[in-house]
């Protein structure tokens, strides 16, 4: 099979601030795998959770360029052998994700079926997506909300908390949004920005505001406190940064209520599906999230969305220059098409 890669830069309409920093643009990688006149597409986007493990676009691209000659002898249908090769070489999850995504896209195009149909899923069984508002002042948060409302039918909001100004600033932002949109469903994501004591206090306060769950309240280093926090919290605790793959789920199963799965963390649709099954077996809720992904990666995850309890696949909706067109949105819900493979075009 022939593999080619190129970079593309996307810009956010609104810069996104979380507890670890602010992002206004990213440069991602577009991977194409060709065989038998069929081309499968994948995307790799850089992300940062632990500084020492961060790979920027240049290092991801260099990794991929060194890898390509070692994969050219494979056929796109040899996913098991390819995945074993990637594991042996300790390839980063974002590059594995792009390769696995492209292999699945190729398979769907070969079969002339959309992936959700190959898997036997119900494409109408998609919950409403949540759209994200980054850490900001109450006034700026309301401005962002109004833009979302002018763009689509907002059913759910995810508020990024963990402000470096403390929990009083977090509370002010939540209060501002509640006043503006009192009936809109709310979730919050602290991206590991709270201490244990602040997380306990905020869980009780956020419960009074009608928040449905808290995502990643504690930094990864405090995973051992998740069980105690869940016992003290009146609302469910979900994890994101603490959970990359299915191997992480059993150790978290008795400490949290749900996990956030992202294609760049899992390393592709194959492991995302395995993670879904393990989470289900452990009785956990499942949500899908994203980084600065375009429509390409978000559409790939959307093909698994009938299994998700919560969907936060909104990054492409905040881009001014998304080069791809895939999953649509109608009535606050993602709408999959019937095109083969991922169903993504430029």
User: Would the pLDDT of 55 be above 80?
Assistant: no
- Mean pLDDT estimate for the chain: 94
User: Mean of the pLDDT values across residues 181-185?
Assistant: 95
User: Mean of the pLDDT values across residues 208-226?
Assistant: 96
pLDDT digits (tens, 9 = 90+) for 228-239: 999 999 999 999
Residues of the chain with CATH 3.30.390.10: 2-112
- Give residue 49's pLDDT: 65
Asked if 144 and 134 count as a contact pair (C-beta separation under 8 A), the reply is: yes
The alpha helices in the chain, defined as continuous H runs, are 57-71, 79-88, 93-111, 115-118, 138-151, 167-180, 196-208, 226-232, 249-252, 263-266, 269-281, 295-302
Contacts of residue 203, defined as CB under 8 A and 6 or more positions apart, other chains included, come to 214, 217, 229, 232, 233, 234, 235, 237
Q: What are phi and psi of 194, to 5 degrees?
A: -115, 155
Which of 13-17, 31-35, 140-144 comes out lowest in average pLDDT? 13-17
Residues of the chain with CATH 3.20.20.120: 117-335
pLDDT digits (tens, 9 = 90+) for 277-301: 999 999 999 999 999 999 999 999 9
Asked if 255 and 230 count as a contact pair (C-beta separation under 8 A), the reply is: yes
User: Would the pLDDT of 130 be above 80?
Assistant: yes
User: Mean of the pLDDT values across residues 13-30?
Assistant: 84
Q: Please tell me the CATH code under which domain 117-335 is placed.
A: 3.20.20.120
- Give residue 52's pLDDT: 41
Fold of the domain spanning 2-112: Enolase-like; domain 1 (3.30.390)
Residue 75 token pair = 């056929």
User: Mean of the pLDDT values across residues 122-150?
Assistant: 94
């Amino acid at each position: 099979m022939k593999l080619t890669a190129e970079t593309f830069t996307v810009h956010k309409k609104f810069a996104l601030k979380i507890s670890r920093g602010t992002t206004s643009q990213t440069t991602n990688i577009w991977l194409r795998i060709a065989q038998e006149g069929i081309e499968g597409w994948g995307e790799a986007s850089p992300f940062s959770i632990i500084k020492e493990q961060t790979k920027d676009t240049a290092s991801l691209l260099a990794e991929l360029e060194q890898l390509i000659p070692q994969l050219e002898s494979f056929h796109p249908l040899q996913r098991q052998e390819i995945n074993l090769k990637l594991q042996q070489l300790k390839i980063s999850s974002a590059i594995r994700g792009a390769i696995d995504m492209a292999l699945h896209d190729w398979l769907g195009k070969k079969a002339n079926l959309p992936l959700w149909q190959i898997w036997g899923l119900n494409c109408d069984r998609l919950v409403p997506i949540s759209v994200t508002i980054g850490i900001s002042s109450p006034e700026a948060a309301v401005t962002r909300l109004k833009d979302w409302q002018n763009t689509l039918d907002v059913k759910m909001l995810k508020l990024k908390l963990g402000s470096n100004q403390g929990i009083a600033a977090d509370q002010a932002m939540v209060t501002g949004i509640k006043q503006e949109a009192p009936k809109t469903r709310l979730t919050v994501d602290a991206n590991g920005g709270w201490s244990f004591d602040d997380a306990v206090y905020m869980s009780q306060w956020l419960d009074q505001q009608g928040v449905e769950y808290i995502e990643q309240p504690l930094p990864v280093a405090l995973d051992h406190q998740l069980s105690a926090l869940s016992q003290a919290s009146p609302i469910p605790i979900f994890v994101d940064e603490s959970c990359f793959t299915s191997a992480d789920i059993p150790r978290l199963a008795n400490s949290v209520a749900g996990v956030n799965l992202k294609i760049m963390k899992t390393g592709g649709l194959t492991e995302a599906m395995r993670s879904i099954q393990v989470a289900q077996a452990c009785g956990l809720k499942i949500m899908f999230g994203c980084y600065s992904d375009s429509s390409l990666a978000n559409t790939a995850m959307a093909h698994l969305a009938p299994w998700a309890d919560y969907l936060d696949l909104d990054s492409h909706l905040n881009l001014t220059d998304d080069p791809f067109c895939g999953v649509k949105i109608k009535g606050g819900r993602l709408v999959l098409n019937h095109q083969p493979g991922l169903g993504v075009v430029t």
